[in-house]
Amino acid sequence: MTTIHEKQYRTLLTSAETAATMIPSGAKVAMPLAAGQPPALLAALAERARARAIEDVRLYYLLCAGVAGKSVFDFELRDLIVPMSYFHSGVERALDKRRLAEALPAVDLVPCHFSQVPRSMIEHVGVDTLIATVSRMDEDGNFSLGASTDYALTISRKPGLRLILEVNSNMPYVRGDCMIPVSSATALVENNISLPILPAAPRNEVDDAIGAIIAGLVDDGDCLQMGIGALPDAVCSGLSRHRHLGIHTEMMTPGLASLVKAGVVDNSRKQTHAGRSIFTFALGDQALYDFLDNNPSVEAYPVDYVNNPFVIARNDRVVSVNATLQIDLNGACNSEFVNGRQFSASGGQVDFVRGAYASRGGRSIIACHSTAANGTLSRIVPTLTGPVTTSRNDTHIVVTEYGWANLKGKSVAERASALIGLAHPDFREGLERAARETGLC
C-alpha cells in the first residue's frame, strides 16, 4: 500500500466502541448479508442500546448471521434496535417464536426481489449508514467486500453515506466490482476473527434422487445458478461427469466451488465474463473462503447486476435451480411461508427464474420433496397457504423425486395432471378430487 493510503487508514482507524457512537438514534442502517455482517460493530451497537444511549435504530439486511442474533437482535433490545428483514433466517424465526409467546407482532419483512434490494434501501428506505466486514486493504487503497458484495457495494456509493468498515484479514480478497476505496470510509475498525460457517445441509435419499434427475437435465456447456440447501448440493454431486459448465449465480457455494476445482466448470462457453465464475455473495465452509481468496477465476459483482434478469439472459443456456415449499395445481410456488408465518423470503428466486428462461436455450428448474412433515403433508397442493413467490406464468420445469414436468405451453388442466403425477402416491387421489371440484380437470 502507498504512504497516502496507509496514512488515510491510520487516520480512520478507531475502536468498535468509538465507531458505534457515530451511529445516532433514528439511524437507518444497512448491513450486508451473512459473512459481511461485522461482529465487533454489532456488539458495540448493542452495548450502546443496553446503555440506553440510542433508540429507534432500524437495521436493514438479508439473511441474518448468528452474531447479529446474539447482539443487536437480542429480544430485550427490540424497542431500541428494530430488525427490518428482507429475508428471514433462523434468527428471525426464533424471535418470532418468542414474540408470539408474548403476544407481540412478528419481525417485520420488506418484500423485495434480491435484484431490487439496493434500490429499495437507497431510494425507498433512505438508509443513511452502512456497516460491513471487508478484506485487508490492497496496495491501491481498496477493500474487497469479499464474500458479501450483494447490495452493500451499491449502497456504499450513495452520496453522504455514513460508511463504517470492519477490516478482517480472514475475509477473502475477491476480485471484480466489489471494491470500496479507503477514501470513502467514515471509520475503520480491525477485528480479525473467523467468518461464519454454514454447515452442509444433511442430504437424504430423496435429495439425491432429485439431484440425479436435475443433473440429467443439465448439458455440457450450460451456465449454472444454484440456490441454498441440500437439493442444490445434491445436484452439484450429480454433475461430476459434465464438462465446460459455467457459473453465474447469486450464491457461491461449496458445491459449486468443488465443480470449479474438479475442472467441471471452466466458464469457457459463457457469453459474458468468459473464464470467470460470477457471484454476489458466498456462504459455506472455510475451504470455500480459502478458494475465493485472491482467486483470479472468480469475481464478485453487486446484486443489481448479477441478479438482473436481463444480465442473466445475456448468457446462453442458463440453468437455474431453486427450491420451493409448496406448488399449487396451477404451478404457482410459495417458497417463503410455513404454517402461516414468514419462513424465508423470495430472495433471488424470481430473478433467476425469469433470467434463465429468457436466455437462449435456458431452463428454470423449481424443485422440492413431494412431501413435508415426515410424509404427512403434500407439497403439491390445491391452493397455496402462503404468498405467491413464483407465479404460475413464470414456472418452467418442476422436479420432485417422482420425476419432472415442463409446465410451459400446458393448459391449467394439463398442468394439474402433470403436477399430480409428481406428487407422492398417497396424495394423488385427493389432489385429483380437488382438481375436479375446482374445475381444473
The domain tally of the chain equals: 2
Does 222 lie in the same domain as 169?
no
Query: What is residue 214's predicted lDDT score, i.e. its pLDDT?
Result: 98
Which pLDDT value is given to residue 211?
Answer: 96
Question: Predicted confidence band at 2 (pLDDT cuts at 50, 70, 90)?
Answer: low
pLDDT reported for residue 304: 98
**Is residue 130 a contact partner of residue 30, using CB atoms and an 8 Å limit?**
yes
308 & 433 share domain: yes
Span 238-263, pLDDT tens digits? 999 999 999 999 999 999 999 999 99
pTM of the shown model: 0.96
- Do residues 266 and 412 both lie within one domain? yes
Q: CA-CA distance, 434 to 432, in Å (whole number)?
A: 5
CATH of the domain at 394: 3.40.1080.20
Q: Is the same domain home to 250 and 391?
A: yes
Taking only the tens place, the pLDDT of each residue in 300-331 is 999 999 999 999 999 999 999 999 999 999 99
Cell of 18: 468509538
The pair phi, psi for residue 184, each rounded to 5°, is -85, -15
Q: How far is CA 222 from CA 211, 256, 260, 331, in A?
A: 16, 13, 14, 25
Does one domain contain both 132 and 241? no
Question: Active-site positions?
Answer: 250
Pair (141, 264) in one structural domain: no
List the CATH number of the domain containing 172: 3.40.1080.10
pLDDT at 3: 86
Distances (CA, A) of 377 to 45, 124, 427, 428: 43, 39, 8, 12
- Same-domain pairing of 99 and 134: yes
pLDDT tens figures, 381-406: 999 999 999 999 999 999 999 999 99
Among candidate residues 167, 190, 213, the one where a domain is terminated: 190
* Domain housing 19: 3-190
Give the span between the Cα atoms of 180 and 206, in whole angstroms.
Answer: 43
State pLDDT tens for residues 39-89. 999 999 999 999 999 999 999 999 998 899 999 999 999 999 999 999 999
